[in-house]
Amino acid sequence: MLGSPYQRSGDVPFTLGILGGGQLAKMLAQSAYQLGLRVAIIEHGADSPAGIMTKLEFSGGWNSDVDLELFISASDTITLENEFIDPKIVERIAEKRLVFPTAQTLEKIQDKYIQKQTFRSCGIPTTEFISLDSPEDAIEFGTKHGFPFIIKTRTLGYDGYGNATVRNSNDIHSVWRKFTESEEPRALMAEKFVHFTKELAVMVARNRRGEVAVYPCVETIQENHICRAVIAPAQVEKHLQLRAKEIALECVKAIDGVGMFGIELFLTNDGDILFNEIAPRPHNSGHYTIEACVTSQFENAVRAVCNLPLGSPEMIAPAAVMINILGERSGSAIPDSVVETLKIPTASLHLYGKSTSRKGRKMGHITALGSTSDEAMQSALNSAKSLIW
Amino acid sequence: MLGSPYQRSGDVPFTLGILGGGQLAKMLAQSAYQLGLRVAIIEHGADSPAGIMTKLEFSGGWNSDVDLELFISASDTITLENEFIDPKIVERIAEKRLVFPTAQTLEKIQDKYIQKQTFRSCGIPTTEFISLDSPEDAIEFGTKHGFPFIIKTRTLGYDGYGNATVRNSNDIHSVWRKFTESEEPRALMAEKFVHFTKELAVMVARNRRGEVAVYPCVETIQENHICRAVIAPAQVEKHLQLRAKEIALECVKAIDGVGMFGIELFLTNDGDILFNEIAPRPHNSGHYTIEACVTSQFENAVRAVCNLPLGSPEMIAPAAVMINILGERSGSAIPDSVVETLKIPTASLHLYGKSTSRKGRKMGHITALGSTSDEAMQSALNSAKSLIW
């Protein structure tokens, strides 16, 4: 079958092409290599975390026609680690190679308003939301659904960028101006503020035959819009975990998604599970799967994209905790001392090999397993605290 | 400290150089990348399993002065996946870079007679052995210790090559001629035949500070001198497992070994544990550690060589079984169908990405975890049997 490794004659090795060279691409490459595949990386700039891991590095980025063509030629099937790629480029790639997730899936996801509309029309529970054509629309929304509420750019927002909390009508005009009068004015939407108890996430893999692997429901701990830690499984009642997994799976089916998807959800104060966001790629909330599950999100991402049977997403330990290693200063990407961290024998350290550090930048992560999530958390925290920048 | 990553100023990434590009180098590279390091590979020929995984590939091999110099320049600390390298080359590298295992360790190991002498003098139990200067020495040995016994080349034997079983005095002369009258005559030794119940193995990591990580005692199942399967932990009484681990550790200390070592042992019919062989590198009997232990042999090999604290070698599941995937035919390195294998959701598949297959060639391996070794074996066998070449 076109696009599948292992089902071809001759000695031709199968190359998985990855759009992007960051840590997600790095970990995807790790899994591809384990399965005996080769890897091609295209990124803007040389020596990215994944770029150093292959002979097939195209450092002009996908905006360089030359490098894009060379990358396509070098690859058999292509996937991405970055959902902000212009779907037109993905369409161009799709003229020559299988690429997952598809341009169609990306178009449904990249605009958060269309994203939520698509899901709402499939019966997936979300918060109230509308698209905004004018500040008056926003005022009306706030009056109807209450203040505060959120105004979001419909495209290109991540980790909190492109979001603004609107506390009262007066805020609306300044927020409106900020987003619409900038160099690149963006379409806006409003969302009713969700009062949540916990933030949850579920990873879902789906291949072209529609086979799925739904990972455990986990809890994510965010600070300033950046993920700090992940607890697996989430410490919520079983029926809520199941509900979250159900919703996550429905989301992926709603967009006919092929590949790996990270679905973020809210557990509201009222005890409901609401859809929040979806990313069509491996996700920070799934890094724990490398040590904690039979098949990591990265391996299943490779399998899904290459139309191979998926591996079990079951956990192999009762609990796991992942803690992000975030830069605390600018400058060298190498922490002053990782040695203390490595002395904690039971936590697994991952460093992404980025060129420079920056406050808040994701530089690596630590995962610990445990009989209970408290035990795993203790282990992971001890390890993370000992890292000296 | 020189030769340690993470303890340097500035943005200079640390590069681990590996002599050899086969599957052991591939898996070493995987671990180095997880720790945020870079990797340089030197091998005879391009596109080896590890060679494809780096921009720093030197395909002229270490017998090419040019490539060796470039490889040394590109690397910060160097290790090997192949113990048959001429110690003089290692000494040459050591003039410029830290390299582990050292040339001194290699010299003690590469000659099996010197190897056993070193260990015997440290009180490590081995079978009876002598060096052979003449066929008469061999006849005397057989008379004293019984037939059959083994004549081995002192250097360069592996996977059964360089061994001959001597059934009676008449055999001796033909064996002698075969080994001493070939193009490259080899020095010989004799070993008393060991009647064993099981073959065992223990991996030991040791860093420059003398810190050690001793892995579980496992059982290896050999067929025609090639490892077919590994059962972890070995199904022998605890005191025997401990004795095997004790002996393995003594071996590594006896040669002041730094790096990762695979020690093979016999459980004799008399219930004794005898030393058999040692390899100064990650070993087939340790591949199960990737899924089954907190820290894989490959990660601890990288840590040991880079003088970092070692990670825990403890198992994270009660049992694990690894089964080698051996080529069944010549030709394409890609099995006709790996799909059936991947459908078994609980076994982890590793394919090495070699260029061609050959009957008996190590092309990959499968590891399964289980509550019991029977369960793990079942899982691994189902997976392996489904692989169609």
Query: What pLDDT, in 10s, does the model give residues B132-168?
Result: 999 999 999 999 999 999 999 998 776 667 888 999 8
Residue from B298, B299, B325, B349 whose CB has the most chain A CBs within 10 Å, to mutate = B349
pLDDT attached to residue A1:
38
Interchain proximity A6–B57, CB inside 8 Å: no
Beta-carbon contacts of residue B181 (< 8 Å; ≥ 6 apart)? none
Domain A128-192 belongs to what topology? Dna Ligase; domain 1 (3.30.1490)
Query: Which residues are A165's β-sheet partners?
Result: A150
* Mean pLDDT on A359-369: 92
Q: Give chain A positions within 8 Å (CB) of B7.
A: 336-337, 339
- pLDDT at residue A332 tops 80: no
Interchain proximity A346–B312, CB inside 8 Å: yes
In this structure, the strands spanning B196-206 and B218-223 are: antiparallel
Please count the CA atoms within 13 angstroms of the CA of A71 that sit on its side-chain side: 35
| Distance between CA atoms of residues B12 and A383, nearest Å | 24
Structure tokens at A58: 């195209």
Residue B269, helix vs strand vs coil: coil
Class of domain A5-99: alpha beta
Interchain proximity A343–B309, CB inside 8 Å: yes
For A60-101, the pLDDT digits (tens) are 999 999 999 999 999 999 999 988 899 899 999 999 999 999
Residue from A338, A361, A379 whose CB has the most chain B CBs within 10 Å, to mutate = A338
Structure tokens at A174: 């300044």
pLDDT attached to residue B158:
67
Mean pLDDT: which of A337-351, B25-39, B148-162 is highest? B25-39
Q: How close does chain B come to A384, measured CA to CA in Å?
A: 14
| Distance between CA atoms of residues B51 and B53, nearest Å | 5
ipTM of the complex, rounded to two decimals:
0.90
Rama region for B70: left / alpha / beta (φ>0; ψ in -120 to 50; rest): alpha
Amino acid at A293: C
- pLDDT at residue A7 tops 60: no
Mean pLDDT, chain A, integer: 92
Structure tokens at B348: 């982890």
E strand or H helix at A41: strand A38-42
Given the structure tokens 């909330």, which residue do they identify? A285
Name the residue of chain B whose CA is nearest to A24's CA: B34
Given the structure tokens 């060639």, which residue do they identify? B361
Interchain proximity A316–B311, CB inside 8 Å: no
8 Å CB contact between B202 and B244: yes
Of chain B, the percentage scoring pLDDT greater than 70 comes to 95
Parts of chain B belonging to CATH 3.40.50.20: 5-99
Interchain proximity B346–A30, CB inside 8 Å: no
Interchain proximity B33–A30, CB inside 8 Å: yes
Sign of the Cα pseudo-torsion (A62, A63, A64, A65, in order) = positive
Q: How many other C-beta atoms can be found within 10 angstroms of the C-beta atom of residue A106?
A: 23
Q: How close does chain A come to B357, measured CA to CA in Å?
A: 10
Starting at the earlier edge strand, list the strands of the sheet with A163-166.
A129-132, A188-192, A149-153, A163-166
Interchain proximity A342–B34, CB inside 8 Å: no
Buried b (16+ CB within 10 A) or exposed e, A121-160: eeebbbbbbbbbeebebbbebbeebeeebbbbbbeebeee
Interchain proximity A345–B38, CB inside 8 Å: no
Structure tokens at A103: 């341009």
For B87-127, the pLDDT digits (tens) are 899 999 999 999 999 999 999 999 999 999 999 999 999 99
pLDDT attached to residue B2:
47
Of A33, A314, A352, the CB nearest to B36: A352
Closest to B264 measured CA to CA, from B196, B210, B322: B196
| Distance between CA atoms of residues B58 and B71, nearest Å | 6
Interchain proximity A13–B334, CB inside 8 Å: yes
Name the residue of chain B whose CA is nearest to A353's CA: B36
Residue from B41, B290, B315, B334 whose CB has the most chain A CBs within 10 Å, to mutate = B334
A27 vs B342: which has the higher pLDDT: A27
Pairs across A and B, CB distance < 8 A? 162
Interchain proximity A303–B339, CB inside 8 Å: no
Kindly report the pTM of this predicted structure: 0.92
Domain at B196-386: CATH code:
3.30.470.20
B333 vs B67: which has the higher pLDDT: B67
Residue from A339, A356, A389 whose CB has the most chain B CBs within 10 Å, to mutate = A339
Q: What angle do CA B300, B304, B305 make, to 5 degrees?
A: 120
In which band, very low, low, confident or very high, does the pLDDT at A218 lie, cut at 50, 70 and 90? Answer: very high
| Distance between CA atoms of residues B313 and A178, nearest Å | 55
| Distance between CA atoms of residues A350 and A68, nearest Å | 30
Q: Give chain A positions within 8 Å (CB) of B342.
A: 303, 308-309, 311
* Mean pLDDT on B222-245: 95
CA B24 to chain centre: 8
| Distance between CA atoms of residues B53 and B30, nearest Å | 9
Interchain proximity A353–B316, CB inside 8 Å: no
Structure tokens at A230: 């992940």
Q: How close does chain B come to A138, measured CA to CA in Å?
A: 46
* Mean pLDDT on A187-203: 96
In which band, very low, low, confident or very high, does the pLDDT at A357 lie, cut at 50, 70 and 90? Answer: confident
Interchain proximity A11–B337, CB inside 8 Å: no
Closest to B5 measured CA to CA, from A33, A356, A328, A342: A342
DSSP assignments along A81-129, one per residue: S-TTS-HHHHHHHHTTSEESS-HHHHHHHHSHHHHHHHHHHTT--B--E
Beta strands in B59-195 (DSSP E): 77-80, 98-99, 129-132, 149-153, 163-166, 188-192
8 Å CB contact between A265 and A274: yes
Q: How close does chain B come to A74, measured CA to CA in Å?
A: 13
Name the residue of chain B whose CA is nearest to A34's CA: B350
B292 vs A178: which has the higher pLDDT: B292
pLDDT attached to residue A208:
92
8 Å CB contact between A209 and B342: no
Name the residue of chain B whose CA is nearest to A307's CA: B339
User: Among the residues of chain A, which ranges form H helices?
Assistant: 23-34, 65-74, 87-94, 103-110, 112-121, 135-145, 169-180, 238-254, 289-292, 297-305, 339-343, 373-385
| Torsions phi, psi for A52 (to 5 deg) | -75, -10
Beta-carbon contacts of residue A206 (< 8 Å; ≥ 6 apart)? A212, A213, A252, A253, A257, A258, A259, A261, A304
- SS3 labels along A308-344: CCCCCCCECCCEEEEEEEECCCCEECCCCECHHHHHC
Q: How close does chain A come to B134, measured CA to CA in Å?
A: 48
Of B33, B294, B350, the CB nearest to A53: B33
Interchain proximity B334–A308, CB inside 8 Å: no
A162 vs B334: which has the higher pLDDT: A162
8 Å CB contact between A159 and A284: no
